[in-house]
Amino acid sequence: MAMGIALVTGGTSGIGAAFAQELALRGNDLVLVARDRERLDSTAATLRGMGRSVETIAADLANRDDVARVAARLEDLDQPIDILINNAGFGIRGSLIDVDTTELDRGIEVMCRTVLVLSGAAARGMRVRGSGHIVNVSSTAGFLTMGGYSAIKAWVTSFTESLAVELKGTGISVTALCPGWVRTEFHQRAGIQSGSIPSALWLDSERLVKVCLDDVDKGKVISIPTVRYRALMFLLRHAPRSAVRAVSGALSSGRRKQAVSG
C-alpha cells in the first residue's frame, strides 16, 4: 500500500476512527474530516501522540460548499493525498414514500454525491502521480432491498466498481468496503434497535479495517470482511432477485415489529 497522507471522512468515530488509527500505525499522516470540532481536535491529539502529523477539516458533507473545501484539499498538489477513505455516513430509517425527504436528501448528499465529488478530486491527482488508493465505505445492506439506505449503499458499491473499471491501469486501487453490523455509534445515532442482532454477526471496527486494508493490498475491488459475511453475501448475490426481496421484507418487518414493541 502507498504510504503518505490519508484523508478520512468521518474519522472521529467508529469505522473512520479505526481507519485513522490503523493508517497512523502503518506510518501515514492524516487529514480528518467531520462536523464536530471538539472531537476532531481530541482525535487529532491522540494520533499526534503516535508521532503522526494530523490536519483537521470541520465540514458538513451534506453542505456543497463544505464538500468543495474538502475537494480543494484533495486537489492540492503541494501536499498530495495518497489514500482517500470515503467513510462518513449514517443510518436512514424513514419510509420511501414519506412526504418529508430531508433525511434521504441528506443521505444522498453525504453518502452518494460527496463520495462522487471527493473520489474524482482524489483520482485526478493520483492519476498524475500514477499511484493512490480510494476506499469507499459501503455496506452489505447494498446487496439487500431494505429502503433508502440499501439503495444508497447499492449505488456506492456500483459506483466504486465502475470507478475501478475506469481507473484500471492508472496505478490507483479502488475498493468498496461492505461491512455487516459493526459496533459503533451508527445504530444509536439513527435510533435503530439492534438488540435482536445475534452476537455472532457483530463485527469489531479495528478488525474490519485491518481486513479491508489487507484486501486493498491484494487489489480487491469489493472487500467483505469475515468468512461468515462473505458466505452470506455469496448466497445473496447468486440468489434470484425475488428471494433477495423476500429476505429483505422479512428482515424489515422484524425490525418494524421490534421498533413497535421496543
Grid cell in block for residue 27? 506510518
Q: 171 has which bridge partners?
A: none
Q: Do 52 and 24 contact (CB within 8 A), yes or no? A: yes
Taking the C-alpha atoms of residue 40 and residue 57, their distance in angstroms, rounded to an integer, is 8
Check binding of 31 to ligand NAP (CB under 6 A). no
Q: For this structure, is 229 an active site residue?
A: no
How far apart, in Å, do the first and last CA atoms of the chain sit?
45
Residues 6+ away with beta carbon under 8 Å from 71:
117, 118, 120, 121
Q: Tell me, what DSSP letter sits at residue 144?
A: S
Select 57 or 170, whichever has its Cβ closest to ligand NAP.
57
Considering the complex, what minimum distance in angstroms separates the CB of residue 7 from ligand NAP?
A: 12
Catalytic hit among 19, 143, 149, 159: 149
| Size of site (CB under 6 A) for ligand NAP | 29
Check binding of 229 to ligand NAP (CB under 6 A). no
Check binding of 179 to ligand NAP (CB under 6 A). yes
Select 166 or 185, whichever has its Cβ closest to ligand NAP.
185
Give the per-residue contact string, 64-103, with ligand NAP (x = CB under 6 A; - = no). Answer: -----------------------xxxx-------------
Considering the complex, what minimum distance in angstroms separates the CB of residue 128 from ligand NAP?
A: 27
Residue of 8, 13, 59, 14 whose CA lies nearest to 31: 8
Q: Contact with ligand NAP (CB under 6 A): which of 4, 39, 161, 245?
A: 39
Considering the complex, what minimum distance in angstroms separates the CB of residue 45 from ligand NAP?
A: 16
Strand, helix or coil for residue 208: helix
Q: Do 59 and 85 contact (CB within 8 A), yes or no? A: no
Task: Using CB atoms within 10 Å of the CB of residue 241, give its burial: 0 to 12 exposed, 13 to 18 middle, 19+ buried.
Answer: exposed
Grid cell in block for residue 255? 425490525
Check binding of 107 to ligand NAP (CB under 6 A). no
Task: Using CB atoms within 10 Å of the CB of residue 239, give its burial: 0 to 12 exposed, 13 to 18 middle, 19+ buried.
Answer: middle
Look-up: residue for cell 492540492? 76
Q: Contact with ligand NAP (CB under 6 A): which of 1, 2, 4, 35?
A: 35
Q: Contact with ligand NAP (CB under 6 A): which of 70, 74, 83, 110?
A: 110
Neighbours of 232 (CB within 10 A): 16
Q: Contact with ligand NAP (CB under 6 A): which of 184, 213, 223, 233?
A: 184
Check binding of 175 to ligand NAP (CB under 6 A). no
Q: Contact with ligand NAP (CB under 6 A): which of 36, 166, 204, 214?
A: 36
Select 190 or 221, whichever has its Cβ closest to ligand NAP.
190
Annotated catalytic sites, by residue?
Answer: 149
Interface residues toward ligand NAP, by CB under 6 A: 9-10, 12-16, 34-36, 39, 59-62, 87-90, 110, 137, 139, 179, 181-182, 184-186, 189
